[in-house]
C-alpha cells in the first residue's frame, strides 16, 4: 500500500488528491485509515502526501503545499511572497509556512481563504518565472514582497540569499524603486540596504540583523586566514578586524543534518573545529560563537560579543596575522 501511495504521488510532483484515490477505488474510510496508520499525511483538505513527507524540511513541505494549492487554482495564478521565496532559496525565517501566498494578475483586491492569501495587483511578464512547471514571481520580487509583509529580518534573510544566488544589487534597487508606493516599503528598503550576498545561511543573515539592531560594527564576512607559510587555517563567518576578533554562527550546517561526518563521527567534527579555533587564536585573534538559541536573545548576545571584542583589542591589538578575503 505504501508503494501505491508513493507511485500515485509521483504523477503529481509529490502529492495526492482525494479525487486520485477515489478514482482508484480507495474510499474515504480507507483514506482516514491510511492517515491514522501514518501511510499518508494530510497537507490540506483533499490533498495528501506519502509518509516520506515527514522527513522533508519545513521549506520542502511548504514548496509541496504551495504547488498543490496552485495546481487546484485557475491557470495564470502565480505563487508569490514567501511561497515563491521559499521555492527560490530553499530557506525561510519569520513567515507562516502553513499559509500559501498567490497573486492574481490584474485583480486589485486581496482576500484570504483556507490558508491561502490571494493578492491582487499588476504583475508584468518580466516579474514571472517558471520553476518545475509552476509560475512564480522572480526571486528578487519574492524577496522584496516577503520583507513587505513579514518585516525587516525576514526580508533581510531572503534578499541576502537571492543576492548570493546571483541576483544583482542593481536589480534589487530597481525593483525597490518601483515599490515606492507599496505599504511597508520602509521595511523593504532597510532589508535591501542591510542585505549581503556573502551570507551563506539563514543564521548568518539573522546575525547581520542582530549586529545592526544591537549597534555592533558590521564585520567583514567569509574571511580566510593563513599561517606564516601560506597554509590556510580556515575561513570564518565574521571578522571585526579593528578589534582583532572573529565570529562564528554555529548552526545545522556544522552540527545538524548537514554535518559532513556520519553520526558516529560527530565528535570528530567538534575536535576539528576546536583545533581550527586554537590555530586562529594563535594568530592573536579572539573568537565568539553563537547559536540559534542565542539569536533568540539578541540584546544579551550582542553585549557578550561586544565585551569579547573589546577584550580581544586589549589583548591582541599589536598582533600580526595573515588574512585574505
Q: Which residues pair with 249 in a beta bridge?
A: 290
pLDDT in tens, 42-65: 888 889 888 888 888 999 999 999
- 205 is a domain residue: no
Mean pLDDT, range 146-170, rounded to an integer: 96
> How many domains is the chain partitioned into structurally?
3
| Residue, of 259 and 302, whose pLDDT is higher | 302
Range of the domain at 106: 58-197
- 202 is a domain residue: no
| 67 and 36, same domain (yes or no) | no
| 164 and 67, same domain (yes or no) | yes
Given this model, what pLDDT does residue 258 score? 39
Helix ranges, the chain (H): 2-10, 18-23, 28-36, 58-71, 81-89, 139-150, 152-164, 169-178, 185-194, 202-214, 252-255, 266-282, 292-295, 298-316
| 185 and 129, same domain (yes or no) | yes
CATH number of the domain that residue 65 is part of: 3.30.460
Q: Name, in order, each residue with C-beta under 8 angstroms of 51's C-beta and a sequence gap of 6 or more.
A: 2, 5, 38, 39, 40, 41
| 181 and 125, same domain (yes or no) | yes
Q: State what percent of residues in the chain have pLDDT above 90.
A: 63
Residue 238 CA to residue 204 CA, distance in Å, equals 9
| 111 and 42, same domain (yes or no) | no
Q: What share of the chain is helix, strand, coil (3-state, %, to 5)?
A: 50, 20, 30
pLDDT band at 324; cut points 50, 70, 90: low
Amino acid at each position: 500500500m505504501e508503494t501505491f501511495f508513493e507511485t500515485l504521488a509521483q504523477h503529481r510532483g509529490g502529492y495526492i488528491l482525494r479525487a486520485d484515490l477515489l478514482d482508484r477505488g480507495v474510499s474515504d474510510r480507507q483514506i482516514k485509515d491510511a492517515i491514522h496508520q501514518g501511510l499518508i499525511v494530510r497537507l490540506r483538505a483533499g490533498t495528501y502526501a506519502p509518509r516520506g513527507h515527514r522527513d522533508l524540511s519545513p521549506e520542502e513541505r511548504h514548496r509541496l503545499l504551495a504547488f498543490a494549492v496552485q495546481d487546484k487554482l485557475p491557470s495564470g495564478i502565480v505563487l508569490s511572497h514567501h511561497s515563491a521565496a521559499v521555492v527560490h532559496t530553499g530557506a525561510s525565517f519569520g513567515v507562516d509556512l502553513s499559509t500559501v501566498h498567490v497573486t492574481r494578475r490584474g485583480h486589485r483586491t486581496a482576500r484570504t481563504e483556507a490558508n491561502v492569501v490571494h493578492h491582487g495587483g499588476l504583475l508584468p511578464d518580466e516579474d514571472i518565472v517558471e520553476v518545475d512547471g509552476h509560475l512564480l514571481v522572480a526571486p528578487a520580487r519574492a524577496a522584496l514582497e516577503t520583507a513587505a509583509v513579514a518585516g525587516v529580518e525576514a526580508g533581510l534573510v531572503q534578499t541576502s540569499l537571492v543576492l548570493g544566488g546571483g541576483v544583482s544589487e542593481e536589480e534589487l534597487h530597481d525593483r525597490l524603486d518601483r515599490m515606492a508606493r507599496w505599504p511597508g516599503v520602509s521595511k523593504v528598503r532597510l532589508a535591501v540596504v542591510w542585505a549581503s550576498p556573502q551570507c551563506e545561511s539563514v543564521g548568518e543573515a539573522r546575525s547581520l540583523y542582530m549586529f545592526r539592531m544591537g549597534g555592533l560594527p558590521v564585520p567583514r564576512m567569509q574571511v580566510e586566514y593563513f599561517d606564516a607559510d601560506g597554509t590556510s587555517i580556515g575561513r570564518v563567518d565574521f571578522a571585526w578586524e579593528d578589534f582583532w576578533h572573529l565570529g562564528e554562527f554555529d548552526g545545522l550546517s556544522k552540527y545538524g543534518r548537514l554535518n559532513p561526518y556520519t553520526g558516529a563521527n560527530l565528535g570528530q567534527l567538534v575536535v576539528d573545529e576546536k583545533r581550527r579555533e586554537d590555530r586562529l587564536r594563535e594568530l592573536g585573534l579572539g573568537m565568539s560563537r553563537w547559536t540559534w538559541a542565542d539569536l533568540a536573545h539578541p540584546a544579551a548576545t550582542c553585549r557578550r560579543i561586544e565585551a569579547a571584542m573589546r577584550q580581544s583589542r586589549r589583548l591582541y591589538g599589536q598582533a600580526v596575522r595573515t588574512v585574505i578575503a
